Amino acid sequence: MLVVLGFSLGSVFLWAQNGKKGAGAMDTLVVESTAFASFKPIPAEHTCDGADVSPPLSWRGVPSAAKSQVILCDDPDAPGRIWVHWILYNLLPGRDSLLSNIPKTDTIVGGGTQGKNDFKRIGWNGPCPPGGTHRYFFKVYALDYMLNLPAGKTKQEVEKAMKGHILAQGELVGTYARKR
């Protein structure tokens, strides 16, 4: 269960309750972007209506025991199912941000592997909703190990590999509606 604790500087502070106290309790990451605030519109440059470049992200609160990090972005408002826009895994634990316009390559500079999104492409493909305003969840996870996965894996494959290894997590939600 996720409970919203507050808002600050475009972030939503979330507390992840896993039913445990003390050891095993999950830490919270604070996720932000200089491009958009929490529950505010994502600029068109990060969408199919613009240059379709990944937005800048930053996060804090990664536990010292973390061995890798994962970023997933999806749209739960897509018709018929959750639509995956970005899968990035095996980021090194010392990394706390990504600049805009991450190349659409198997690996990224500074360490990290990209998966295949629901557009069937490696890397970021931004919002392109068929109608209405959609929400885009940028989820960051700190893990207690490095995923043993090659590039091009799906969200489902990454989530399966992450199971039982999440030390901390946080999210930032942006919105987008096409102007036609």
State the Cα–Cα distance between residues 32 and 53, nearest whole angstrom.
17
pLDDT band at 24 (very low <50, low <70, confident <90, very high): low
At residue 1, the pLDDT reads 36
**CA distances (Å), origin 91, targets 21, 54, 87, 141:** 28, 16, 11, 10
What is the rounded average pLDDT of the residues 88-98? Answer: 96
Q: Is the pLDDT of residue 161 over 60?
A: yes
Q: Which SS3 state, helix, strand or coil, does residue 158 take? A: helix
Domains, the chain, with CATH or none: 2-176 (3.90.280.10)
What pairs with residue 8 in β-bridges? 11
Contact between 10 and 33 (Cβ < 8 Å): yes
At residue 123, the pLDDT reads 97
Edge-first strand listing for the sheet containing 97-98: 30-32, 57-60, 97-98
pLDDT in tens, 101-136: 999 999 999 999 999 999 999 999 999 999 999 999
